[in-house]
Structure 1
Amino acid sequence: MTTWTIRDFHAHDVEGILQLWQALREEDVEPVYDLSEVLASCEKDHAVVALHGEEIVGAAVGRAAHDQGWIVFLATLPAFRGKGIGTLLLAAVEKRMAAHGLNKLSALMPDTATRFEAFSSRGFVVKKNLRYFERKIPVQRAELGAMDELGGRLLPRDLWDRVAGMSAEKELLERRLVLPLAKSELAEEFGVVPPRAVVLFGPPGTGKTTFAKAIASRLEWPFVEVFPSRLAGDPGGLAGALRQTFLDIAELEHAVVFIDEVEEIASQRSGEPPSPMQGVTNELLKIIPAFRDQPGRILVCATNFIRSLDSAFLRHGRFDYVIPIGLPDAQARAAMWQRFIPAAVAGQIDVHTLVEASAGFSPADIEFAARSASQRALEKAVYDDDSVTKRSGPETADYLETVAETKATVSDAVAADFLEDIAALART
């Protein structure tokens, strides 16, 4: 007569769990929970195994939180099915979870599984009209401490979509950066090496920082901004603090690392004797090749003055792309205006006129003018006693007034220099 026994999971039972897992996979049954989750619950939560002699022929793994319990894993070897082992395993693991005061015990099973007798024997019922949703969380628990120490954060997932206009720049960044990083295995098949470092350059206020954050949002990677000015006060000096920061970043599985105004620490080296800042530039030049050897991360540097960067900093082998971010075209300006115009008056505003009036404006200029117009309209509605009709928001005239009063950040001379920089230094 065939007999078996059920006992608690022991550390040396891992091989038996792996055998059960593999048996399911060989039957084209994809378990709901990853193997790493099952093994983690075996060690930290509740798990029992069924033994035939010394061989593990079945296992049940459960997890409890508050008054809700979940069956994370239930499996028996094919030769031992139909003998009631599954039912006994469920009863055993439920008994060990009873101390949590559960009022509900649930299980998720792949729709390819056909053996539900163990669950029905224990009183489980199939819930109709339910769908199982799953999403991978990009940052693992072990990384949270390191990310917090670095001041990193996960940005909203819709930030990329919220970048108004700038469609040409977005498409370029999507194709060159996001695509090979997000689909690294496919990129490898095509012989594409994912980018490791890029420079965004352009006049002030054109959205370089916004694009860096949008890349992190699009990839769902932690965004870590490095502030050289804050590191300068470190007892070990700026160069040493910079080196340690990048060593800490190496603890993260993924990261978009951003350095704004990078010309402050990577300007042209000259003079005798070398200045202290030249030592910082030398350190950064050493850091970047080491950073490039680490997959799953990208360095984004931004500068308003690309001509001031050290020539060795921009060379091939350090930065994959040198991408210009310029002033928005008419289509982009229209999208930006529409973003800031209140919905209540959107149909009453002559956006085309605003687009023409704001030629040469940066995104920051448009935002300033739009918000100023809203403020001005609010003040008129509250304090203008001569107003015959009650206003529901700003009017086209309000926007045109603030546009006329807003001084463009980018002068004609700066815009001309930017075009020269594109011709001389851009690498897309």
Structure 2
Amino acid sequence: MNWLIHDYREDDLASVVHLIDTTADLGQESVFSLAECISALTSRQPAVVAVHRGEPIGTALAHVSGGRAWVMRIAIAPAWRGRGLASALLMELERRLVEARVHRIAYVLAEEEMLGEGLRKAGYTRRPAVAYFEKTEPATGTTANLLEELGGRLLSGGLWDRVAGMESEKNLIERRIVLPLAEPERAARHDVIPPRAITLFGPPGTGKTTFARAIASRLGWPFVELLPSRLADEGNLAAALRSAFARISELERVLVFIDEVEEIAPVRSAGTDSAMYGVTNELLKLIPGFRERDERLLVCATNSIRSLDPAFLRPGRFDYLIPIGTPDATARAAIWSRYSAGRNTVDLDALVEASELFTPADIEHAARIASQAAFERDSADAGAHTGDYLSALRQCRPTVTPAAIAEFNADITTHARL
């Protein structure tokens, strides 16, 4: 990514207006006039601007009325077309609109053009009569207030496409989890019952939380994370779990995520604390009720699946137990390509070889160190080079050890259910 996207500022006005005006004849026309766009900008309607080396190269702006937002224009400098900038601008604009509690996002094209296909991929639906694209977000009012109370939110679109590497895990989750939930009628024709609860297991930092968030983004469902530590702060953890699931049941659709679930569903034994025993029992009773409703998914994650109570993992409660391991060479190449922005001067093979056993989080940390080194050097070169990345890798220690990998592989044999 060679650009930075920020909220529109007053001193952007001249350059943004110039960008909108000069791109109007390049297939980026809109039913909104330039004067209307200027009026929206000066009245502080939501807008974002992409810059490269201090120069604006793209913009997206909207007008909010009631619970609906109209995307007025996405303007891209000619040299930056076809490089993913339009999607990035739309995603950032959507994120701000969702935070503003907008219920529907609409885009009206002057005529059919290439942007229409991009809007379809971003989750918009074309309506009859004109090239009118609309995207529905969670309702405002009681539902939105309940979601806010639960600490939940609608995640920005496109998170699924931004999961770099890990293609085998991504393809499995797409086929087993996402498609049956996204296309229930098609699933019903083939007697496929959409999953209601899954567990992701694997070493820390391998992307279990990222996958959970990406699934919610892909489905367009609200994402609610239940934190055991926060629930415990309410005093009675079992009662807090019961109350949280009762409130969640009022939502029309939702993905519920519980990370480090071993904290509330550990293996029970004769020496198990009675209070924790009660918490595990409560969760075991709540899951069947959760499974009775359509358009909801419980995703649990754990670093140690062998630490979970066997009754918690049985098929009647969880449809799939999916391993999420460290990225293989192909996945590491994809991740490094993302962080190095595809620069030909970066030796991806060297980085892949030097980052064996590194998790996606480890690679991100190393990439940040390399970018910081390039920033402090501030040479004429654009971005970090191979030496910066290799130096950063030497400063980092992989989260996952060979012993942890051996344990994980054993857990796949013993516990995985795909």
Q: 2:360 aligns with which of 338, 357, 363?
A: 363
Give 1:137 shift.
3.2
Alignment of 1:416 onto 2:406: yes
Q: Identify if the C-alpha distance between structure 1 residues 405 and 323 changes in structure 2 by more than 3 Å, giving closer, same or farther.
A: same
Q: CA RMSD in A?
A: 1.9
Give 1:133 shift.
2.4
After superposing on structure 2, the runs of 4+ consecutive aligned residues of structure 1 that deviate more than 6 Å are none
CA distance in 2, matches of 1:170, 1:177: 10
Give 1:135 shift.
3.0
- Give the TM-score of the pair, scaled to structure 1: 0.66
The equivalent residue for 2:371 is 374
The equivalent residue for 1:231 is 231
The equivalent residue for 2:75 is none
CA distance in 1, matches of 2:220, 2:182: 9
CA distance in 2, matches of 1:135, 1:342: 30
Alignment of 1:211 onto 2:211: yes
Per-residue CA deviation, residues 242-277 of structure 1 (Å, 9 max, x unaligned), is 000000000101000000000000001112574311
AA partner of residue 203 (structure 1): P
Give 5+ residue unaligned stretches, structure 2: 1-64, 67-107, 109-128
Per-residue CA deviation, residues 285-341 of structure 1 (Å, 9 max, x unaligned), is 111111111111000000001100001000110000000000111111111111112
The equivalent residue for 2:155 is 155
The equivalent residue for 1:248 is 247
CA distance in 1, matches of 2:171, 2:390: 31
AA partner of residue 390 (structure 2): L
The equivalent residue for 1:395 is 385
- Give the TM-score of the pair, scaled to structure 2: 0.67
Give 1:130 shift.
4.9
Q: How many residue pairs get matched?
A: 293
Give 5+ residue unaligned stretches, structure 1: 1-64, 67-107, 109-128, 382-388
The DSSP-based 3-state class of the residue aligned with 2:210 is helix
CA distance in 2, matches of 1:427, 1:326: 15
Q: Identify if the C-alpha distance between structure 1 residues 420 and 347 changes in structure 2 by more than 3 Å, giving closer, same or farther.
A: same
Asked if structure 2 preserves the Cα contact closer than 8 Å seen for 1:195 and 1:320, the reply is yes
Give 1:202 shift.
0.2
CA distance in 2, matches of 1:190, 1:171: 20
Per-residue CA deviation, residues 21-48 of structure 1 (Å, 9 max, x unaligned), is xxxxxxxxxxxxxxxxxxxxxxxxxxxx
Per-residue CA deviation, residues 138-187 of structure 1 (Å, 9 max, x unaligned), is 54654211111111111111000000011111111111011111111221
Asked if structure 1 preserves the Cα contact closer than 8 Å seen for 2:138 and 2:144, the reply is no
The DSSP-based 3-state class of the residue aligned with 2:132 is coil
Per-residue CA deviation, residues 64-102 of structure 1 (Å, 9 max, x unaligned), is x79xxxxxxxxxxxxxxxxxxxxxxxxxxxxxxxxxxxx
CA distance in 2, matches of 1:230, 1:328: 31
Asked if structure 2 preserves the Cα contact closer than 8 Å seen for 1:139 and 1:222, the reply is no
Deviates more, 1:271-280 or 1:191-200: 271-280
CA distance in 1, matches of 2:225, 2:371: 32
Asked if structure 2 preserves the Cα contact closer than 8 Å seen for 1:267 and 1:308, the reply is yes
Q: Identify if the C-alpha distance between structure 1 residues 271 and 331 changes in structure 2 by more than 3 Å, giving closer, same or farther.
A: same
The equivalent residue for 1:351 is 348
The DSSP-based 3-state class of the residue aligned with 2:300 is strand
Find the structure with the greater CA-based Rg: 1
CA distance in 2, matches of 1:273, 1:405: 41
Give 1:192 shift.
1.1
Q: Identify if the C-alpha distance between structure 1 residues 208 and 273 changes in structure 2 by more than 3 Å, giving closer, same or farther.
A: closer
